[in-house]
Amino acid sequence: MKTVYLDNNATTRLRPEALQAMMPFLTDLYGNPSSLHAFGSQVGRALDTAREQVGALLGVRSQDIVFTGTGTEANNMALKGYAEANPGRKHIVTTPVEHPCVREVCAWLGERGYEVTEVPVAADGTLSPDAWRAALRKETAFATAMAANNETGVIFPYEELAAACAEKGVPFHCDGVQAAGKIPVRLAESAVSSMTVAAHKFGGPKGVGALYVRRNARLKPLLHGGHQEKGRRAGTENVAGIAGMGAAADAALRDLPLEESRVRPLRDRFEAAILGRIPGAIRNGHPDQRVPNTSNLGFSDVEGEAVLLILSQFGVCVSIGSACSSGSTEPSHVLRAMGVPKSHIFGSLRFSLGLDTTPEEIDYASARTAEAVAKLRKVAGKEAVRR
């Protein structure tokens, strides 16, 4: 059966360059990078190379890159680290559409006496810098907002948000997991205090992430132990994974123009086919202010999970929302925050393309989606759908 993979926001195919970079450290070069002997030192040099590659993807110095186990760990490290470094401040500013690993940390801090202010988003998922600025206080310990939403792809003006925080002396953390490798990210001239990225979102291996930390950012470590990562993150590094991440970052930076020239037109072609073919279908999110690969579409009078299961039988892989929220019976917190109509919120699906997605796959997926929705509506006796 043909497989059409449109779930690249959940994870991506491992790039050949990443696999090639990883192999030596899974076989012959097994030394500990912290060892002083020559065998360990050559492994340590691989970390330096990867640090330069990830730094280049974000437009920052390699010295400011800290490798972690996952993007979730990196977000936890930043947010809890800022809270620990600013014990006298008990206020947090964030948004209601953040990834669960950010929302859960803010909720956890809320249970420990922090006041959490969520700056609302508009119906198209965008965020107002003025509303953000107004939420900041002198007692704000940190503020955090993502660069691009994992469910809708909507891009936040994170550099402007960071500048507003800098004006008030507030550390600004940005979850850049869904932005890096899809849109240009140049942090060196920005006021962003820290940013998280995850290797498997741009063709690297799972189980490795990185945190950019601006050189003057006050951040307490999450893990205590050895002196790895300049004392920022204790524990022997996953050298093979990091080497793969570096190679993937290098390839992603090289291929960045293709996101606009190849991926965006295919996404727009897919959306046009769906919106033109399925009565009552809507787009969730700003039409233009999105990363090039992401489309979140809502269908009335059907359950998104039912559509997903039929598509899976056709070999089309999509998702209801964040892979980290799979299994939840509650509607997406992102779509709730955007005020998506009740008629569509349970029938929304995320389609996320990759560099290897083809026009033929797009046409196949759009036809099968229309077929699945029509089948479910017929079963429900609702062929006549309100437009």
**Contact in structure between 54 and 43 (CB atoms under 8 Å):** no
pLDDT, residue 321, reads 66
Confidence of residue 222 (pLDDT cuts 50, 70, 90): confident
- Given the residues 101, 174, 317, 324, select the one marked as catalytic: 324
Q: How far is the C-alpha of 76 from the C-alpha of 98, rounded, in Å? A: 13
Confidence of residue 299 (pLDDT cuts 50, 70, 90): very high
pLDDT, residue 387, reads 41
Architecture of domain 16-251: 3-Layer(aba) Sandwich (3.40)
Closest CA to 117 of 136, 102, 138: 136
- The answer, yes or no, to whether residue 350 has pLDDT greater than 50, is yes
3-class SS letters over 270-316: HHHHHHHHCCCCEECCCCCCECCCEEEEECCCCCHHHHHHHHHHCCE
* Percent of the chain clearing pLDDT 90 (strictly above): 86
Average pLDDT, the chain: 94
pTM: 0.94
Tokens 């920052």, residue? 60
- The answer, yes or no, to whether residue 326 has pLDDT greater than 90, is no
- The answer, yes or no, to whether residue 260 has pLDDT greater than 50, is yes
Please state the rounded mean pLDDT for residues 269-275: 98
Q: How far is the C-alpha of 306 from the C-alpha of 9, rounded, in Å? A: 20
Domain boundaries in the chain?
Answer: 4-11+257-380, 16-251
Determine whether 324 is an active site residue: yes
- The answer, yes or no, to whether residue 63 has pLDDT greater than 80, is yes
- The answer, yes or no, to whether residue 386 has pLDDT greater than 50, is no
- The answer, yes or no, to whether residue 141 has pLDDT greater than 60, is yes
**Contact in structure between 201 and 99 (CB atoms under 8 Å):** no
* Percent of the chain clearing pLDDT 70 (strictly above): 96
The partner residues of 119 in beta bridges, in order of sequence, read none
CATH code of domain 4-11+257-380: 3.90.1150.10
- The answer, yes or no, to whether residue 253 has pLDDT greater than 60, is yes
Task: Supply angle C-alpha 116, 231, 55, rounded to 5.
Answer: 80
**Contact in structure between 297 and 318 (CB atoms under 8 Å):** no
pLDDT, residue 172, reads 98
pLDDT (tens digit, 9 = 90+) per residue, 73-125?
Answer: 999 999 999 999 999 999 999 999 999 999 999 999 999 999 999 999 999 99
- The answer, yes or no, to whether residue 257 has pLDDT greater than 90, is yes
- Cβ density class 82-99: b for 16+ within 10 Å, e for less: bbeebeebbbbbbbebbb
